[in-house]
Structure 1
Amino acid sequence: MSLLIVKNITREGPGILENILKKNNIDFHIVDLDSGEKLPEPDNYSAVIVYGGPDSANDKNIKMERELTMIKKAIELKIPYLGICLGMQTLAKSQGAVVRKNEVREIGFRAEDGKYYSVNIEDEWMNDPLFSGLENPVKIFHLHGETVDLNDNIELLATGKYCRNQIIKVGSNAYGIQGHFELTPEMFNIWLDNDPELMELDKNKLLHDFEELAEEYSNNGYTLFSNFLKIAGLV
């Protein structure tokens, strides 16, 4: 059994996670839906991670229909799941929640007030195994315009100022994170040169923010992904 990694767009891949997987000799299989690869059944894997992309969980096409079906099945089988950005929204959508346009787009490292984006872990969830070793609040990178309205199937673990529902949980081992903790310097440069929303911003300022936060950001990403792999029983 190995870890299934689903890419919704080619440039949004495992990043920091890949370094952890290789270091711990964890077998993983990457499926790139953007290049037309077929989505496998989740019951062939020990855990599932779904990354972000420009799609919407509300899209009415075969790709999204199959993705939502796969995620719903994974949750029903209690397969450990982690969704990043779109992968968080598809988790919520698969559980009957509403995905809608957020009041503001969250793009980059800084909010409209000039302060770094961060998520605040709710007090009652500080002891959740996903957050072991993290200090609260946690700075985060954003690249999204939609959000989710939760229902009784979904717990809210962490909140944000401009988009409230930031980290969610379904059951005992399925998580969704609205922002990104996976960025490496190489991946970030690819995003800056190719993502339309990031290209609207000042590249030098984004690079400065990334450099300024580099140690804290990478440590948080490493901790979060390592914690999820422990939850999944892979380390």
Structure 2
Amino acid sequence: MEATQENPSKILVVLHQQHSTPGRIGRLLECQGYQLDLRRPRFGDPLPDTMRDYAAAIIFGGPMSANDEEDWLKREIDWIGVPLKENKPYLGICLGAQMLARHLGQTVCPHPQGKVEAGYYRIHPTEQGHELCDCRFPETVYQWHREGFCLPKGATLLAKGVDFEAQAFRYGERAYGLQFHPEVTISIMCRWLARSKMRLRQPNARPPHRHFQDWCLHDWRIARWSDAFLRTWIAEDSAIAA
């Protein structure tokens, strides 16, 4: 993809651990011709004052809470106003979606009964969710979180769950929040399962063997939808800039 001032080819990718990767999402974007600019504000990387040189921004997940008091996290939540103000595509995944909800004035909190989602769970796409791109919204997705949020004021619900209702939403024309993890590959899943055994002992978590069984059943649909969604998400902005 040839970059121009009006249609840059870089994607700003925000990660929260030293060895985190953008997984499937990163590979799909690179295959679509985009360059990834990886930033880790938690470890001192700055975030840009403007999105002028970027086609879009993605904030991924992490083990911290959107309610934590660290200065870097508060600055990152505030920074989300940059792509929103400039009407640039923004995608928040898990923690990134919760940060978007916090930026929009919504609360983020644990389940009242202490439930978590770790593994594959059914969600229920809305009519707007099914209309999002030319690939049907996946109805079983990979989750790894202990907190959730209500739909921010002015946002459009794209998919809802049973224990954590807000699973996907759109705010404005180009900002999206996904509570689930479309970026997860089998290697990422293995790493999380090995390093986070406490999460698997919490209420509502799926046992390890179910993660692998359900990956075989559902991952191909998530992969196909992810590719179609990313193309639509970026194309919305490219059409405006052209």
TM range (shorter): 0.7 to 0.9
Q: Deviations over 1:131-189 (max 9, x none)?
A: 31332552111111111123423222211111111111111110000011111222222
Aligned twin of 1:212: 217
C-alpha separation between the residues in 1 aligned to 2:231 and 2:65?
A: 28
Does structure 1 residue 105 correspond to structure 2 residue 116? yes
How far has the Cα of 1:85 moved from its partner?
Answer: 0.3
Number of matched pairs: 224
Aligned twin of 2:134: 133
Aligned twin of 1:150: 151
C-alpha separation between the residues in 2 aligned to 1:21 and 1:184?
A: 15
C-alpha separation between the residues in 1 aligned to 2:207 and 2:162?
A: 23
Does structure 1 residue 94 correspond to structure 2 residue 98? no
2:37 to 29, 37, 44: 29
Q: What is the root-mean-square deviation of aligned Cα atoms in Å?
A: 2.2
Aligned twin of 2:5: none
Give the secondary-structure state (helix, strand or coil) at the position aligned to 1:56.
coil
Q: Per the alignment, do residues 167 and 108 of structure 1 end up closer, same or farther by CA in structure 2, a change over 3 Å counting?
A: same
2:16 touches 2:60 (CA, 8 Å); kept in 1?
yes
C-alpha separation between the residues in 2 aligned to 1:42 and 1:6?
A: 15
Write the letter of the residue equivalent to 2:73.
M
Aligned twin of 2:55: 46
How far has the Cα of 1:73 moved from its partner?
Answer: 2.2
C-alpha separation between the residues in 1 aligned to 2:92 and 2:159?
A: 14
C-alpha separation between the residues in 2 aligned to 1:151 and 1:203?
A: 33
C-alpha separation between the residues in 2 aligned to 1:203 and 1:137?
A: 21
Q: Summarize the alignment of residues 152-191 of structure 1 with structure 2, pairs less than 5 Å apart.
A: 152-191=153-192
Q: Percent identity?
A: 25
Stretch deviating more after TM superposition (139-148 or 23-32):
23-32
How far has the Cα of 1:64 moved from its partner?
Answer: 1.0
1:72 touches 1:95 (CA, 8 Å); kept in 2?
no
TM-score scaled by length of structure 1: 0.85
How far has the Cα of 1:232 moved from its partner?
Answer: 3.7
Aligned twin of 2:22: 14
C-alpha separation between the residues in 2 aligned to 1:71 and 1:154?
A: 15
C-alpha separation between the residues in 1 aligned to 2:118 and 2:50?
A: 31
The runs of 5 or more residues in structure 2 that have no matched partner are 1-7
C-alpha separation between the residues in 1 aligned to 2:142 and 2:129?
A: 21
Q: Per the alignment, do residues 230 and 11 of structure 1 end up closer, same or farther by CA in structure 2, a change over 3 Å counting?
A: farther
2:79 to 65, 70, 87: 70
How far has the Cα of 1:108 moved from its partner?
Answer: 0.9
TM-score scaled by length of structure 2: 0.82
